Structure 1
Amino acid sequence: MTSQVDLPRVLRPFGTRQYRWLAAGLALALFGDGMWLIAVVWQVIDLGGGPGKVSLVSGTTAVGMLVSSLAGGVLADRVSQRLITIGLEVTKLVAFASVGVASMAGVLTFGHLLAAALLSGVTTGMYYPAYSAMLPNVVEAAHLQAANGVEGFMRPVFNQAAGPLIAGAVIGLAAPGQAIVLAGIASVLSAWCYVVMGPVARRHEPTDTGEVGAIRGVVTDIAEGVAYMWRTPWLWATLFFATILVLATIGPIEVLVPFALRDRAGGDAGDHSLVLMAFGAGAALSSLAFASIPMPRRYLTLMLGIWGVSSVPLVAMGFAHSTWMFVVTAFVLGVLFDGPMVIWGTLLQRRVPPHLLGRVSSLDFFVSVALLPLSMAIVAPVSHAIGYTATFVLAGLLPVPCALVFYLAARLWRDEIEHPLRDEPVPVVAPDTAVSATPRCDSELYQ
């Protein structure tokens, strides 16, 4: 029988049954979201909408993520994260299936589509803190970097490649409604995986609010997470930089690319899928590379350094006039965006106290997407005023000096030396045994 230590580093989390079902549920959830990602854009176009309405739908999704993420973090620290993920996938089934059926029946309205986009955002905002807080309860601490690398691999493969590819093919053969129904089916299959997974042991007792009122308790819990963020320089520096990166890049990538592709290269839904697949391929390869190596000694420098230049390929996209140019640029973007996410996820799970991980993960999500609605809202009028090229160039160059400012302000080169994240000894665990021992989480890492 093969033990976890006999497996390649990136495969060691799969030595436990619970993680295998968790990974399967994650893959299906990402696949469904990827189908929705491209199907909703072409559904808007099918309803006669242009960049403004695509921005509105994308912005509504972002608002849903924003308003739900903090509450999702509190919930993840209080109740079963597994039950949260099951409920979220069932909610997505209802949202996606209702839109798809209405579209096929010819009765879909733009208001209905906006409501589904809002629900999609809410489920995404609550899913991330629940998954992030659940993962350390399923795999050993020494395997967290590999597990985060697997997530980093799955996200582009299923969310940005396979999902959009299948959606593009279905749209080409039929219509957006059929693709959206398939997204709903993927969501219910994801929920089934989490059901089969079984109960997950927690590393700490759920937060006890005692006699405190529900609203007051939520506010108190959120305030505790915010206070931890403010006194943790590596955390606030990275989160605030991510806010700027999202503001500059996500709007152009999600809103402008399909229209620039159509107007400049004569592209359609299939070409848009190719661009998303290229982004996913770059992200997947980069994530696997980071999952297969030990934690770097200069992990903060490497992480923020790569992210600091990750937007630069958008400059090339501003001058692209053929599909292959969009595809190549998207591949490079994927490599630079997603690789450091492996370090970031492991960093949260190994340096944040377990009882705060759900809330800090939700703050990570909240701060990162805080300006996402604004990015979606302003990109259409900005591109109308200054053109596609200038908008892409501005988006590509703005984050670069910001990364340097936050790196220096938080003295990250000192922090990473004072708080090394060396690999811990790997215990021998039977392949189908779930984590039962509490992973070591040194107090000096709670900084």
Structure 2
Amino acid sequence: MPSYRSLARNHDFRALWIGQTVSEVGSRMSMFVFPLLTYLLTGSALLAAAAEAVHLLGLAGALLPAGVLADRVDRRRIMRVASAAGVLLYASLAVAGLLDALTVPHLLVVALLTGVGAGMFMPAEISALPAVVTSEELPTALSQNQARMHVAALVSAPLGGLLLGVARWLPFAVDAVSFAVSWLLLGRLRTDLSPTPHAGPPRRPLKELADGVRFVWSRPFFRVLLVWGALTNLAVNALFFVAVLRLVESGTDAVHIGLVEAAAGLAGIIGAVVAPWLVERFATGHLTVAIAWSFLPLVVPMALWNEPLVVAAALGAGMLLNPAGNAGIASYRIAATPPDLIGRVQATSQFVSMSAMPLAPLLAGLLLESYGGAAAILALGAFTACVACVPTFSRSVRSVPRPAAWERYAAPAVAAAA
């Protein structure tokens, strides 16, 4: 499997990765600032939560039509339009802040529209990746994307807090610049990112969307991942929320809580570095099952000891294998998907996977309030074990081999779809 060094020599991947790393740091920083600034303007916790909720709503709502678009239109054009929209939207907030004219409706509209932009960008990027890198490089490239997400999570909150402390408009100005960097670097891509030309009668968007959903649901492997992805996102994110809320309840200061989140981000970066090595050496199905169970042993220490160091170590340990699982299974999913369906298949998977995430804080708060911290963590541990059984008992997941055998293993499914 190619190393990170070989990918660094790939001009187009490097431009795409650097641009999106800068943009993702800016976006996560703004998402950290939105609720804080909304609360400063209104004093309402409900409106502060709404600022992040409408962003997620815009993102989820855009994913399915974006998948259809990614299979019909030049993906570079889609990504550049989304980046240009980010420049204009965040610049509007920066200008309003400079003029001391920031309002909550303005913040909410920008949060919603930048969520739509992110939802449009994601299927286009993942559909473009197989054209930018070789099939052998794909797991390593996706591991680097995992590292990008964890780097953004690690630095965005401290950076956002620092800039917000200097001036209310400054985080948005910096984010507008980050989108401009992404737009410029996307313009340097040399690869043709146009989808496969369509020969035949005019296509109807709703039918194309239905074709993508039908393909996902008709394949046992994709169907299991669809269910497992949504449930594991719910279980793990709820576990994370309970652990953090429990520390807040016990009076742990913000600095130590921030260090807990930083530890999880740092572990994710380390996991992303070793992910290509793990993906190459272990059968993807077995690796997926191992990751499904990886959070379970961490439940007991978190339930027994409500200490920042214990929570940081437990969550960090849980994040170590996560990038390898995400990179491996995402790479195989692309290998097993016909090229003209990649955008719709990825969008469908991402939409369902993200649909359960807004329920995680609600589930965490309900369990914590009803049963207390230790019982809530144990209950979520039991839920996590039930969720882990989904891929464990699925032969279509367990039987996926190492990347060296993917092409032979996935070929019948791709041929049948074609």
Residue-by-residue CA offset, 1:8-33 (whole Å, 9 max, x unaligned)? 62322222211121111121122112
Q: Does 1:231 align with 2:218?
A: yes
Shift of the 15–391 alpha-carbon distance from structure 1 to 2, 3 Å rule, reads same
C-alpha distance 308-80 of structure 1, shift in aligned 2 (>3 A): farther
Residue segments in structure 2 that go unaligned for 5+ positions in a row: none
Separation (CA, whole Å) in 1 of partners of 2:51 and 2:138: 35
1:402, distance to aligned residue in structure 2 (A): 1.8
Distance 1:194 1:227 in 2: 32
Question: 8 Å contact 1:35–1:166 — kept in the other structure?
Answer: yes
Cα pair distance change 1:230/1:315, threshold 3 Å? same
Q: Which residue of 1 aligns with 2:267?
A: 282
Distance 1:48 1:316 in 2: 39
Task: Determine the structure 1 residue equivalent to 2:150.
Answer: 156
Hey, what's the Cα distance between the residues in 2 that align with 1:164 and 1:376? 19
Q: How many Å separate the matches in 1 of 2:103 and 2:299?
A: 34
Q: Distance in 2 between matches of 1:265 and 1:378?
A: 22
Report deviation, 1:135.
Answer: 0.6
CA 1:259 to 1:374, structure 2 compared with 1: closer, same or farther past 3 Å?
closer
1:174 aligns with 2:161: no
Is the aligned partner of 1:91 residue 2:85? yes
Q: Look up the equivalent residue of 2:271 and give its one-letter code.
A: S
SS at match of 2:71: helix
- Structure-2 separation of matches of 1:441 and 1:194: 34
Partner of 2:403: 421
Instruction: Tell me the residue number matched to 2:250.
Output: 264
1:131 deviation in Å? 1.0
Q: Shift of the alpha carbon at 1:302? A: 1.3
Match of 2:384 in 1: 399
1:115 corresponds to which of 102, 109, 112: 109
Cα distance, 1:396–1:112 mapped onto 2, change above 3 Å: farther
Task: Please give the alpha-carbon distance, in whole angstroms, between the structure 1 residues aligned to 2:52 and 2:222.
Answer: 27
Deviation at 1:126, TM superposition (A): 2.1
Please tell me whether the aligned partners of residues 267 and 323 of structure 1 are also in contact (alpha carbons under 8 angstroms): no
Asked whether the equivalents of residues 66 and 370 of structure 1 are also in contact (C-alpha less than 8 Å), the reply is: yes
**8 Å contact 2:150–2:266 — kept in the other structure?**
yes
- Contact kept, 8 Å, 2:243 with 2:377, in 1: the verdict is no
Q: Provide Cα deviations, 1:165-210, integer angstroms capped at 9, x if missing partner.
A: 3223324x425542233222212211111012245245x5244674
* Percent identity (aligned): 20
Q: Distance in 2 between matches of 1:198 and 1:289?
A: 29
Determine the C-alpha separation between the residues in 2 that align with 1:251 and 1:50.
23
Deviations 1:239-294 (A, max 9, x none): 2111112223335646x6765554434433x5554333322211111111112355
Greater shift, 322-331 or 283-292, is seen at 322-331
After superposition, the Cα gap between the structure-2 partners of 1:356 and 1:147, relative to the gap in structure 1 and judged at 3 Å, is same
Q: How far apart are the structure 2 equivalents of 1:399 and 1:339?
A: 19
Q: Give 1:444's match in structure 2, choosing from 390, 412, 418.
A: 412
Question: Given residue 264 of structure 1, which amino acid in structure 2 is its aligned partner?
Answer: S
**Residue of structure 1 equivalent to 2:184:** 192
Partner of residue 346 from structure 1, selected from 316, 320, 331: 331
Cα distance in 1 between the residues matched to 2:239 and 2:48: 12
Gaps of 5+ in 1: 425-438
Structure-2 residue corresponding to 1:81: 75
Task: Kindly indicate whether residue 47 of structure 2 is the aligned counterpart of residue 56 of structure 1.
Answer: no
- Tell me which of 190, 211, 232 is aligned to 1:245: 232
Match of 1:22?
Answer: 16
| Corresponding position of 1:434 | none
What TM-score comes out, normalization by structure 2 length?
Answer: 0.86
TM-score normalised by L of structure 1: 0.81
1:205 pairs with 2:205? no
> CA offset at residue 83 of structure 1?
1.2
Code of the aligned partner of 2:103: T
Distance 1:388 1:45 in 2: 27
Amino acid in the other structure paired with 2:176? G
Give the whole-Å Cα distance in 1 for the aligned partners of 2:37 and 2:375: 28
Change (3 A) 1:233 1:195: same
Match of 2:340 in 1: 355
Moved more, 54-63 or 222-231: 54-63
For residue 280 of structure 2, give the secondary structure of its aligned residue in structure 1.
coil
Aligned counterparts of 1:442 and 1:397: Cα–Cα separation in 2: 34
Distance change >3 Å, CA 317–CA 182, structure 1 → 2: farther
Task: Tell me which amino acid in the other structure corresponds to 1:205.
Answer: T
Amino acid at match of 2:147: F
- Choose from 274, 277, 281 the match for 1:292: 277
1:10 aligns with 2:7: no
SS at match of 1:398: helix
CA distance in 2, matches of 1:121, 1:318: 35
Distance 1:48 1:321 in 2: 33
Q: Distance in 1 between matches of 2:124 and 2:237?
A: 24
The 8 Å contact of residues 238 and 364 in structure 2, kept in 1 or not, is answered as yes
Distance 1:220 1:69 in 2: 16
One-letter amino acid of the structure 2 residue matched with residue 188 of structure 1 = A
Aligned length: 415
AA in 1 matched with 2:272: S
Higher relative contact order (CA 8 A, sep 6+): 1
Partner residue, 2:125: 131
